[in-house]
Amino acid sequence: MEGRSLDKALDIYSALITGKDVSRSNPDTRDLYEEYYSNSAVYDIVTKLMKKLNLNIYEYNDSIYLTAGEGNRVFGYTNDDMKRQLGLRLNKELYMVYFIMYNALLLFYQDSASYQVKEYVKLEDIMEQVNTYLSAITSDLSVYSMDELEEESFKTIALLWDELPVVTSDDKEKNRASRASKTGYVKLTFNFLAEQKLFVSVEDRYYPTDRFKAIVENYFEEYKGRIYKALGGEADA
């Protein structure tokens, strides 16, 4: 019995690590989900294995999802990995992408008490959200007189965003993901998120997947205070 439980646990791990959906609604992995959900021995082995490998496993809507734990250099991305993946050169460009990700998340989950998620957000909504957070920083004229700026500072991100043009709907470059415009940065960011199966993009509308919801409602709840504090809020707000 122990051998069978171990085999099933490894099957679940193998499916998750290769990007398969382990879900009650997926006929190819339904049996694995039922083993995880109803067999306590399998459940214990899977959770212990994930903990040892610094992986987080989340349950949502009759499905289980896997994501790398903080600082996991084997299964996660380093900053250099992300820059190569996104075609970026500088740290400030990468932090701009991170900042867009965070603001998109705020748009979806404005009520953290109930986790009522929007059906979708539009590209223009995200750009307006980023503008709102960064405009207060760039409105301070003293920012422009600084000789040196740390690449990871919010002032550096604000200055980068402020220098970028907005591509209009009539511009042929509107649909390009690039570092050449505000629109391009948002598209670059969401192309990556779509590759990670976190969003589905339809005509500049971004729809969150269950994988996104699973990660946000579990993982982000634990770490959101750090980012909020960095933005100037209280850590326990």
Q: Which residue has the higher pLDDT, 71 or 139?
A: 71
Confidence of residue 220 (pLDDT cuts 50, 70, 90): low
CA torsion angle 220 204 230 85 (round to 10) = 80
Sole residue written with tokens 């171990």:
6
CA proximity to 102, closest of 8, 225, 237: 225
The SS3 assignment for 180 reads: coil
Distance CA 190, CA 40 (A): 38
> For the whole model, what pTM was predicted?
0.78
Confidence of residue 157 (pLDDT cuts 50, 70, 90): confident
How high is the mean pLDDT of the chain?
81
* 28-32, 56-60, 165-169: range with lowest mean pLDDT: 165-169
Q: For residues 185 and 227, which has the higher predicted lDDT (pLDDT)?
A: 185
Strands across the sheet containing 121-122: 121-122, 205-208, 199-202
**Range scoring the smallest mean pLDDT among 27-41, 85-99, 211-225:** 211-225
Tokens at 91, concatenated: 């740290």
Q: What is the mean pLDDT of residues 158-178?
A: 72
Residue 237: predicted pLDDT: 36
Query: Minimum mean pLDDT among 57-71, 87-101, 103-117, 127-141: which range?
Result: 103-117
Number of CB atoms found within 10 A of residue 131's CB:
15
Pinpoint the alpha helices (H) of the chain.
2-17, 30-38, 40-52, 79-86, 91-108, 123-138, 154-163, 182-195, 210-215, 221-230
